[in-house]
Amino acid sequence: MELPQLLPAADIVVLAVPLTARTEGMVDRAFLSMLRDGALLVNVARGSVMVTDDLLAELPRIEAILDVVDPEPLPPEHALWSAPGVLITPHIGGDTDAFPRLARELIGAQVRRWRSGEALLNVVHGP
């Protein structure tokens, strides 16, 4: 299934993509309009993946948890601070007790792969 078919059925959509030319602004009015009423959008990607004004227009029809925002830092008077159905976290979405161990394991695996000529994991190609 493609994203346009998945979004209307989703209760929760988690954005966890790199910021590239293809993903910048991908969560716009058209994307958000495909979400069902009451859906929850979680952004742990980058603030610029989402068009902030388009999100504001869709609130409170949908709700959002934002670990990243655009602009960042968010000015004290910005509408997101008081928007209904929005929870803003202080850019800690990836911070867990498991992170140091997982980072060491991934770095070790990447070095082993690089030394043996294997393809690296989690490679992101830019625009």
Q: In this predicted model, what pLDDT tens digit does every residue of 22-71 receive, in sequence order?
A: 999 999 999 999 999 999 999 999 999 999 999 999 999 999 999 999 99
Question: Looking at residues 6-16, what average pLDDT do you find?
Answer: 95
From 72, 104, 112, 118, the catalytic residue: 72
Q: What angle do CA 58, 65, 74 make, to 5 degrees?
A: 85
pTM listed for this prediction: 0.77
Q: Is 2 a catalytic residue?
A: no
Name the residue type at position 100.
Answer: P
Res 10: pLDDT:
95
Q: What is the pLDDT of residue 126?
A: 53
CA torsion through residues 97, 101, 102, 104, sign: positive
User: Is 51 strand, coil or helix?
Assistant: coil
Please confirm, yes or no, whether 77 is among the known catalytic residues.
no
Give the C-alpha separation, 82 to 53, whole Å.
Answer: 14
Residue 97 CA to residue 59 CA, distance in Å, equals 33
Q: Give the tens place of pLDDT for each residue, 76-113.
A: 999 999 999 999 998 777 677 887 898 899 999 999 99
The per-residue pLDDT for 124 is 67
Q: What's the pLDDT at 50?
A: 97
What domains are there in the chain, each with its CATH number? 3-95 (3.40.50.720), 96-127 (no CATH)
Active site residue 125: no
